[in-house]
């Protein structure tokens, strides 16, 4: 039967369905920010020209990060979704709001740790130039409590307010190229619709979810199969095909669903590669086989499914939302980290006799 696993409180990097190896972004020599850094050897006229502006100043971006950090701590302590909505949006908010609903399924020690305050240290801002017309900026951070290293995306919501929309934490074993910066120190934005090798960043959701849905026989063939998130999805798909679930009494299938946000955030790597952060989503369907349905067996929800409203029945549809990080080059498309969260469930009870 389905067995979603609650992730630890933010900041975290565990996956609900498959633990992925996250990616480390190697930092370049220049940190994107408010001070211009003309390239060495540039003509005197170029060096004396006013520096290009970023989509946000470094000081303002730091203030956004500070506000997010402080407010997130307050929201976690009270599990206040309304307060959380003032600083988060998109997939990140949907995942964290689900965390709050699942809080009662945690152990006493986990509940105690959940509201522990954290800070972001080792901050590096990756701010696009204003000329890019980007509405967002990125930051690489380290969480003080877990020492996890994360890549954060802040985007404008409601026209003017920056909110955190994605945070992908890295584990060990993978590394990504340094982020490219222009002569003024601003991060170089990549076009999500432009192919890098055989796939564009905008196509990553469909390719990755194809691995869950078909084992990767269609769009999934464009991904590098060697990364742990892809291998884990392939393994879970094969096991579901062979054994089903609920001790073989039910089938288990996966179906791609639209993510909360289809927006993909892409930065240019200093080596010409592309770093992409995107949302992904699927539903997991567990269905008791006809010969057993409502006669011999039905599915009993676990604690997390019960917390989200499931009751005993013959059909369960679990919903999962994910945040993912990928590195694209002309030779490979590597999904290096996926952070899943169980966010909803529907169950269909057996009909009553008579």
Q: Print the domain residue range for 92.
A: 23-347
What's the pLDDT score for residue 170?
81
Tell me what percent of the residues of the chain surpass a pLDDT of 90.
71
Domain count, the chain: 1
Residue 180's pLDDT band (boundaries 50, 70, 90)? very high
Is 15 among the domain residues?
no
What pLDDT score was predicted for residue 173?
A: 64
Q: Among 76-80, 222-226, 259-263, whose mean pLDDT is lowest?
A: 222-226
pLDDT at 111: 87
H helices within 56-125, ranges in order? 58-78, 81-84, 90-101, 108-114
Mean pLDDT of the chain: 85
Please count the CA atoms within 13 angstroms of the CA of 11 that sit on its side-chain side: 27
26 compared with 70, residue with greater pLDDT: 70
For residue 148, the model assigns a pLDDT of 82
The SS3 call for residue 180 is: coil
Please return the burial class of 53, using the count of CB atoms within 10 Å of its CB with bins 0-12, 13-18 and 19+: middle
pLDDT at residue 41 tops 50: no
Q: What is the mean pLDDT of residues 62-76?
A: 96
- Note whether residue 279 is domain-resident: yes
User: Is 108 within a domain?
Assistant: yes
- Please give the structure tokens belonging to residue 280: 């992904």
Does residue 7 have a pLDDT over 60?
no
Domain membership flag for residue 117: yes
Does residue 12 form part of some domain? no
Q: What is the pLDDT of residue 231?
A: 95
Return the pLDDT at 45.
Answer: 43
Q: What is the pLDDT of residue 37?
A: 32
Mean pLDDT across 328-339: 94
What DSSP designation does 127 have? -
More confident residue, 30 or 171: 171
pLDDT exceeds 60 at position 6: no
Check if the beta carbon of residue 308 is closer than 8 Å to that of residue 105.
no
Q: For residue 14, is it within any domain?
A: no
CB-based contact 232:208 (threshold 8 Å): no
User: What's the pLDDT score for residue 172?
Assistant: 67
Distance CA 91, CA 168 (A): 11
User: Does residue 230 lie within any of the structural domains?
Assistant: yes
Number of other residues whose CB lies within 10 A of the CB of residue 141: 22
Q: Is the pLDDT of residue 118 over 60?
A: yes
- What pLDDT is recorded for position 39? 33
Least confident interval from 33-42, 117-126, 221-230: 33-42
The encoded tokens of residue 47 equal 């060096």
The answer to the question of residue 317 being in a domain is yes
pLDDT band at 215 (very low <50, low <70, confident <90, very high): very high
């Amino acid at each position: 039967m389905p067995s979603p696993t609650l992730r630890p409180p933010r900041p975290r990097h565990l996956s609900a369905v498959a633990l992925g190896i996250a990616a480390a972004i190697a930092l370049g020599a220049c940190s994107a920010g408010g001070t211009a850094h003309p390239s060495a050897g540039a003509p005197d006229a170029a060096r004396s020209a006013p520096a290009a502006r970023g989509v946000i100043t470094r000081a303002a971006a730091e203030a956004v990060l500070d506000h997010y950090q402080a407010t997130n701590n307050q929201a976690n302590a009270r599990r206040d979704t309304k307060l959380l909505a003032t600083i988060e949006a998109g997939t990140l908010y949907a995942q964290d709001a689900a965390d709050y609903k699942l809080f009662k399924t945690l152990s006493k020690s986990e509940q105690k740790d959940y509201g522990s305050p954290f800070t972001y240290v080792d901050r590096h801002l990756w701010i696009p130039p204003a000329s890019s017309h980007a509405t967002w900026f990125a930051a690489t951070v380290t969480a003080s409590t877990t020492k996890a290293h994360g890549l954060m995306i802040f985007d404008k919501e409601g026209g003017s307010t920056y909110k955190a929309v994605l945070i992908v934490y890295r584990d060990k074993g993978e590394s990504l190229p340094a982020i490219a910066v222009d002569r003024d120190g601003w991060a170089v934005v990549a076009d999500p619709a432009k192919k890098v090798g055989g796939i564009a960043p905008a196509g990553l959701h469909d390719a990755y979810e194809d691995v869950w849905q078909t084992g990767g026989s269609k769009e999934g063939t464009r991904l590098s199969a060697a990364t742990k998130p892809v291998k884990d999805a392939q393994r879970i798909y094969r096991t579901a095909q062979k054994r089903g679930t609920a001790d073989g009494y039910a089938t288990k299938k996966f179906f791609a669903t639209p993510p909360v946000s289809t927006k993909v955030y892409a930065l240019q790597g200093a080596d010409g590669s592309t770093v992409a952060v995107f949302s992904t989503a699927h539903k997991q369907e567990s269905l008791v086989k006809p010969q057993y349905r409502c006669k011999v067996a039905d599915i009993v929800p676990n604690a997390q499914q019960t917390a989200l409203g499931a009751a005993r029945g013959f059909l369960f549809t679990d919903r999962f939302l994910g945040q993912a990080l990928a590195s694209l080059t002309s030779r490979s498309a590597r999904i290096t980290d996926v952070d899943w969260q169980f966010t909803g469930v529907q169950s269909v009870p057996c009909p009553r006799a008579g």
